Amino acid sequence: MVSDNMNASSAIDFAWTLISTRQTILPRHLVQPGPNEEQIDLMFRAAAAAPDHGCICPWRFIRVPLDRREALAGAFEASLRERDASASAQQLEQAAEKARRSPFLCLAVARLGPAEPAIEPMERMVAVGAAIQNLLLLAHAMGYATSLTGGQGLQQAPLRNLFGLQEGEHAVCFINVGTATYAKPSTIRPEPSHFVDSL
Ligand SMILES: Cc1cc2nc3c(=O)[nH]c(=O)nc-3n(C[C@H](O)[C@H](O)[C@H](O)COP(=O)(O)O)c2cc1C
């Protein structure tokens, strides 16, 4: 229990502040410094603490170090070319530029193929989402800004090939972590009355 290590009201204050102040800061607003190796290890340990029915580890995270960003830029360009043969040089450059931004970048992958025990894909996706959120919250606790980014390119061959995704593996989103260049106004959240009912 958290409250064995912290008094109960500080634990609630801490958890609420952490959860309620996390916000998406898009990669174009993320700069160095990003997390160091020790911090990155802790972020992945936080991911591994997610609820995981059957303990099948239905996630995989593939880091994109700075020296592999040009390979990713090439895959983004190739994906755009596949979708739109008439894409302009400027549009191709914009697609490529997305690979170069975040100090820390990794691809979150859901493992939805055959597994033992056979946990439903929907349950596995819940576990993957929880793992991603744990990672985001830990990065946020360390003072970094974060975002998730997706896009059509994720399901295309250039990206799947670059990341060596196997059958049954689904690219979910990129995770971006770095230092925010600006303070974003706080986000208005839906009231529980909008999404909670009772039987
Ligand atoms: C799987 C996933 C993919 C996302 N991809 C994008 C994206 O490509 N571009 C973007 O602006 N936001 C993306 N988001 C972030 C959401 O837009 C964002 O979480 C939402 O607007 C709420 O803002 P908040 O994170 O500040 O609470 C993604 C979120 C998830 C869960």
CATH number reported for the structural domain that contains residue 59 in this entry: 3.40.109.10
Residue 73 has pLDDT above 90, yes or no: yes
- The ligand 1 site (C-beta within 6 Å) comprises 23-24, 26, 148-151, 172-173, 187
Give the pLDDT score at 184. 93
For a pocket test of ligand 1, which of 21, 24, 170 has the largest count of ligand atoms closer than 8 A to its C-beta?
A: 24
Is residue 40 one of the residues assigned to a domain?
yes
Is residue 88 one of the residues assigned to a domain?
no
Which ligand 1 atom lies nearest to the CA of residue 23? 26
pLDDT band at 6 (very low <50, low <70, confident <90, very high): confident
Which ligand 1 atom lies nearest to the CA of residue 151? 8
* Token pair belonging to 98: 């997305």
- CA 147 to ligand 1 centroid distance, Å: 7
> Distance (Å, rounded) from C-alpha 132 to C-alpha 97?
24
For a pocket test of ligand 1, which of 173, 174, 182, 189 has the largest count of ligand atoms closer than 8 A to its C-beta?
A: 173
The structural domain count of the chain equals 1
> Distance (Å, rounded) from C-alpha 52 to C-alpha 134?
13
| Cβ neighbourhood burial of 124 (10 Å; 0-12, 13-18, 19+) | buried
Cα distance between the two ends of the chain:
30
Is residue 52 one of the residues assigned to a domain?
yes
Q: Which of 177, 107, 103, 168 is nearest to 145 (CA)?
A: 177
Is residue 126 one of the residues assigned to a domain?
yes
Residues 6+ positions from 184 with CB-CB distance below 8 Å:
23, 25
Give the pLDDT score at 3. 65
Give the pLDDT score at 41. 98
Is residue 189 one of the residues assigned to a domain?
no
Q: Which of 175, 170, 139, 153 is nearest to 59 (CA)?
A: 170
Give the pLDDT score at 165. 97
Q: Are 104 and 34 in contact (CB under 8 A)?
A: yes
- Enclosing domain of residue 36: 27-65+102-154+163-181
- The torsion angles phi and psi of 185, rounded to 5 degrees, stand at -60, 150
The stretch 30-35 carries a mean pLDDT of: 98
Give the pLDDT score at 7. 85
- The torsion angles phi and psi of 56, rounded to 5 degrees, stand at -100, 0
Kind of pairing between the strands at 30-31 and 104-111: unpaired
Is residue 94 one of the residues assigned to a domain?
no
Is residue 138 one of the residues assigned to a domain?
yes
Q: How far is CA 141 from CA 14, 42, 146, 157, in A?
A: 10, 11, 11, 35
Is residue 85 one of the residues assigned to a domain?
no
